[in-house]
Amino acid sequence: NAGVTQTPKFRVLKTGQSMTLLCAQDMNHEYMYWYRQDPGMGLRLIHYSVGEGTTAKGEVPDGYNVSRLKKQNFLLGLESAAPSQTSVYFCASSYSDRGTTEQFFGPGTRLTVL
């Protein structure tokens, strides 16, 4: 099993450009999440999904959109990148059972917006 994979690993964008980050999991997890991690700020939730075709906003959703067309994939889009979106982005997934569920993380995407 590959677990949680993220594409790409690194990306440099210019202000105003758009891009899509792809997250894929092969564990048949219901829940998927997108976080950003910034120095001194910890991990902050951007958007999450509790199942195929559903998405919800997290703590810092502005400037991002997401889609969950297939259960195994969760896409994060930046329509018009801004320097404030320079960060490391992590995807995670988990089962839906709250008590026993464990989160599994991808390796991250390092994004720089110039």
Partner 1 sequence: KQEVTQIPAALSVPEGENLVLNCSFTDSAIYNLQWFRQDPGKGLTSLLLIQSSQREQTSGRLNASLDKSSGRSTLYIAASQPGDSATYLCAPGSGGSYIPTFGRGTSLIVHP
Q: Which two tokens stand for residue 40?
A: 């001194």
Asked if 104 and 95 touch (Cβ cutoff 8 Å), the reply is: no
Enclosing H/E stretch for 45: strand 42-51
Q: Does residue 46 belong to the site contacting partner 1 (CB under 8 A)?
A: no
Dmax (CA) for the chain in angstroms is 43
Listed ranges 20-28, 36-44, 64-72, 76-84: which one lies at the site for partner 1 (CB under 8 A): 36-44
The interface with partner 1 within residues 95-114 (CB under 8 A) comprises: 96, 98-108
CB of 78 to partner 1, least distance (A): 20
Shortest distance in whole angstroms from residue 11 CB to partner 1: 15
Using the contact rule CB under 8 A, the part of the chain among 12-20, 60-68, 72-80, 88-96 near partner 1 is 88-96
In our burial notation (b when 16+ CB lie closer than 10 A, e otherwise), range 7-36 reads eeeebebeeeeebebebbbeeebbbbbbbb
94 binds partner 1 (CB under 8 A): yes
86 binds partner 1 (CB under 8 A): no
Binding residues for partner 1 (CB under 8 A): 4, 31, 35, 40-43, 45, 48, 50, 56, 58, 90, 92, 94, 96, 98-108
